[in-house]
Amino acid sequence: MGDSNTITVNTELGAVEVRKMALKDYAELLRALDKLPKQIGQIIGADKNDIKNMDTSELLAMLPAVLAESWSDVVALIAVPTDQDAEYLGSLDGADAVDIIVAIFELNDFARIVASVKKLMALKAKIQKPAPQE
């Protein structure tokens, strides 16, 4: 399993070590993620606001087209917190890839990050709220 900062995922091609991401890794991840909404919009003919308003089933229905068109970017995202490059990860089978993605989410506690960002955004809104006029 590894220490508290890593999880080793055994795949058919060999072990892949998933690491807890440092702040600099998040910068790399965010740069890669920033490209995807533009690509998704081009693929489905929608803008960013249309995508935000779609429900989960609509987004899942688009997944095959998105993956086909932006495969290298998706694999590059998965590679950020691992000890393998995108080329290696792109040659894994689907089950191994999902196992790695699960390990990334578990180890990096993205649910906690999202909750913390929501708190931060609520605090920002509270701070920016104008004082009542007397």
pLDDT digits (tens, 9 = 90+) for 4-25: 899 999 999 999 999 999 888 8
Q: Give the pair of three-digit tokens for residue 70.
A: 């932006």
57 in Cβ contact with 42 (< 8 Å): no
- Which of the two residues, 53 and 71, has the higher pLDDT score? 71
Give the pLDDT mean for 56-70: 71
> What is the amino acid identity at position 9?
V
Banded model confidence at residue 96, pLDDT cuts 50, 70, 90:
very high
User: So what's the pLDDT on residue 83?
Assistant: 95
In the DSSP assignment, the letter for residue 54 is: -
Q: Which residues of 102-132 are buried (b: 16+ CB within 10 A; e: fewer)?
A: ebbeebbeeeeeeeeeeeeeeeeeeeeeeee
